[in-house]
């Protein structure tokens, strides 16, 4: 097809001519209109819907500050800690860039956790948005990997020993565990080889994958359309112009909405950066201001706060707790046989798997450390199955039975408790609490196919309920 150039009046503004020249060669305006400018979103968004744009903002912030940090950082075991100190003390505004990056990491996870909370409350993972949820889950995994690889780079005491403990966990995997740990470290202990490969993953490999997943997440979202607090598909009610009656253009309406959220976020973010960048040792551990020493182990080794809920699940899996887990697996299997509508063959397969798992949990077969790693990973991976676990006839919590809200409250409280306990040294009492919270955490998901259908549900309106704000 022959190339056709858009003809503009001779007196057209220079900026419009330049944009037209670009549009003839690249769909810049079309991309803007499709992805935001003329993208129609439900008109009843509330404050829960600002966290997606905030996540994009923090992602850009992390990339920009990370670029400036790599200009002065030395990925060498003998120089890494000193280079961070050099950035903090000698590089003009280096302390600001470093604190923005470290605070941004914690802010990223706070925003992502709140973003996922909104999805849980309003059923944003339900059909037809399963793939959007899976892309989001993959982004979450990438962020965890990115944070883990970046955690070692300052080469402080907690960085060094935290990486040592986490990498050693893979050694609990039968047969391949020791070799896998060796491959991740690149040496028999955390050393210069480990630092170099973690640096490569943190700076190049993971960000490339992350950017691709973010693009896929947004494309899938804008193809299907955004969810809303009522859980109604607005595309089912179209107006004469072909757009949903209960939707409005993202620009300028949600541009202003999001800019307000960005302003509030930047105010809080600036207060933390300038007045409390360590956040009491949660954002930057005090031990990390000491150089990593392989001969001096800190009294209490724990990962950064955003990993601690899952870390608590790992610590809760003790030898004594395995007997409780065996009873739980057996009871859950009996429950499936009695309450599930699965085929007989499927039930047989589940029973065989449960029997093998119970045998594997015996202390003579596989130790508790291995199962700790299994449940540690399982506590994260189970999130991916949410679209197929929730069988509720409605999506939004607004129209569910009131007692469902208490189920969600217990789940969130259990998750927060696990997070707090993961930051503290283990004691007998704390271990028992973490074990109870672990059972509650997994029960929320495993029994969801049943409890999500129980109770009296409210009637979902035909059109979205809009309250100006």
- Using CA atoms, how far apart are residues 105 and 283, in angstroms rounded to an integer? 8
Measuring CA to CA, which residue among 379, 398, 388 is closest to residue 441?
379
**Per-residue exposure over 48-78, b if at least 16 CB sit within 10 Å of its own CB, e if not:** bbbbbbbbebbbebbeebbebbeeebbbebe
* Cross-strand partners of 40: 249
Measuring CA to CA, which residue among 77, 71, 60, 69 is closest to residue 197?
77
Q: Which residue has the tokens 């105010």?
A: 267
User: For every one of its 469 residues, what pLDDT tens digit does the chain have, with 9 covering 90 and above?
Assistant: 566 777 777 778 888 888 888 888 888 888 888 788 888 889 989 899 999 999 999 999 999 999 999 999 999 999 999 999 999 999 999 999 999 999 999 999 999 999 999 999 999 999 999 999 999 999 999 999 999 999 999 999 998 988 888 888 888 788 888 888 888 888 888 889 999 999 999 999 999 999 999 999 999 998 898 999 998 888 888 888 888 888 988 888 899 999 999 999 999 999 999 999 999 888 998 888 999 888 888 888 888 899 999 999 999 999 999 999 999 999 999 999 888 888 889 889 999 999 998 998 888 888 888 899 899 999 999 999 999 999 999 999 999 999 999 999 999 999 999 999 999 998 999 999 999 999 999 999 999 999 999 999 999 888 887 665 5
CATH top class, domain 26-290+297-301: mainly alpha
- Using CA atoms, how far apart are residues 433 and 227, in angstroms rounded to an integer? 36
Assigned token pair, 295: 């001969």
Annotated binding residue 243: no
Annotated binding residue 217: yes
Provide the 10 A C-beta neighbour count for residue 146.
Answer: 22
On whether the CB atoms of residues 245 and 138 are closer than 8 A, the answer is no
Rg (CA), the chain: 25
State how far Cα 243 lies from the chain centre: 32
On whether the CB atoms of residues 310 and 304 are closer than 8 A, the answer is no
Q: Which residue has the tokens 């001519």?
A: 17
What Å distances lie between residue 66 and 70, 103, 104, 193, 298, CA to CA? 6, 12, 10, 21, 28
Annotated binding residue 391: no
Annotated binding residue 101: yes
Q: Which residue has the tokens 């954002």?
A: 283
Annotated binding residue 257: no
3-state secondary structure of 266: helix
DSSP letters for 190-248: S-HHHHHHHHHIIIIIHHHHHHHHHHHHHHHHHHH----TT---GGGSB-TTSSBTTEE
Instruction: Identify the helix (H) or strand (E) that includes residue 360.
Output: helix 344-361
Domains 26-290+297-301 and 305-457 in one fold? yes
Provide the 10 A C-beta neighbour count for residue 445.
Answer: 17
Domain boundary assignment for the chain: 26-290+297-301, 305-457
- Using CA atoms, how far apart are residues 431 and 402, in angstroms rounded to an integer? 32
Measuring CA to CA, which residue among 100, 429, 151 is closest to residue 271?
100
| CATH fold for domain 305-457 | Cytochrome Bc1 Complex; Chain C (1.20.810)
Predicted TM-score of the model (pTM): 0.93
* Cross-strand partners of 248: 41
Cis before 252? omega within 30 = yes
Measuring CA to CA, which residue among 142, 143, 121, 123 is closest to residue 133?
123
């Amino acid at each position: 097809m022959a190339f056709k150039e858009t003809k503009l009046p001779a007196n057209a503004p220079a900026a419009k001519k330049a944009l037209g020249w670009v549009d003839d060669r690249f769909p810049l305006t079309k991309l803007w209109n499709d992805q935001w400018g003329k993208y129609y979103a439900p008109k009843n968004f509330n404050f829960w819907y600002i966290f997606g744009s905030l996540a994009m903002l923090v992602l850009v912030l992390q990339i920009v500050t990370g670029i400036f940090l790599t200009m002065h950082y030395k990925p060498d075991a003998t120089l890494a800690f000193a280079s961070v100190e050099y950035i903090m003390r000698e590089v003009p505004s280096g302390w600001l860039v470093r604190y923005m990056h470290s605070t941004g990491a914690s802010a990223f996870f706070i925003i992502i956790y709140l973003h996922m909370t909104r999805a849980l409350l309003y059923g944003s993972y339900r059909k037809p948005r399963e793939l959007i949820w899976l892309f989001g889950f993959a982004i979450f995994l990438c962020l965890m990997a990115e944070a883990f690889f970046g955690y070692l780079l300052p080469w402080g005491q907690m960085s060094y020993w935290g990486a040592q403990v986490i990498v050693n966990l893979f050694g609990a995997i039968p047969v391949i565990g020791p070799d896998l740990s060796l491959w991740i470290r690149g040496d028999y202990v955390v050393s210069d080889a480990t630092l170099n490969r973690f640096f490569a993953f943190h700076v190049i490999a993971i960000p490339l994958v992350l950017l691709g997943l973010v693009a896929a997440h947004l494309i899938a979202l804008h193809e299907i359309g955004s969810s809303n607090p009522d859980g109604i598909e607005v595309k089912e009610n179209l107006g004469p112009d072909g757009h949903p009656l209960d939707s409005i253009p993202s620009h300028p309406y949600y541009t202003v909405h999001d800019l307000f959220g960005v302003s509030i976020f930047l105010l809080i973010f600036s207060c933390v950066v300038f007045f409390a960048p360590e956040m009491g040792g949660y954002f930057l551990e005090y031990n990390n201001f000491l150089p990593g020493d392989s001969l001096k182990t800190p009294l209490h080794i724990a990962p950064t706060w955003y990993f601690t809920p899952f870390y608590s699940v790992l610590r809760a899996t003790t030898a004594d707790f395995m007997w409780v887990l065996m009873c739980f697996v057996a009871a859950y299997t009996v429950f499936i046989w009695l309450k599930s509508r699965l085929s007989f063959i499927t039930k047989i397969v589940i029973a065989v798997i449960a029997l093998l798992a119970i045998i594997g949990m015996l202390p003579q077969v596989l130790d508790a450390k291995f199962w700790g790693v299994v449940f540690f990973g399982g506590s994260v991976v189970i999130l991916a199955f949410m679209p197929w676990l929730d069988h509720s006839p409605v999506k939004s919590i607004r129209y569910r039975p009131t007692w469902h809200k208490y189920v969600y409250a217990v789940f969130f409280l259990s998750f927060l408790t696990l997070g707090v306990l993961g930051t503290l040294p283990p004691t007998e009492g704390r271990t028992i609490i973490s074990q109870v919270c672990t059972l509650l955490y997994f029960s929320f998901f495993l029994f969801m196919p049943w409890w999500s259908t129980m109770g009296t549900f409210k009637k979902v309106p035909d059109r979205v309920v809009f309250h100006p704000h």
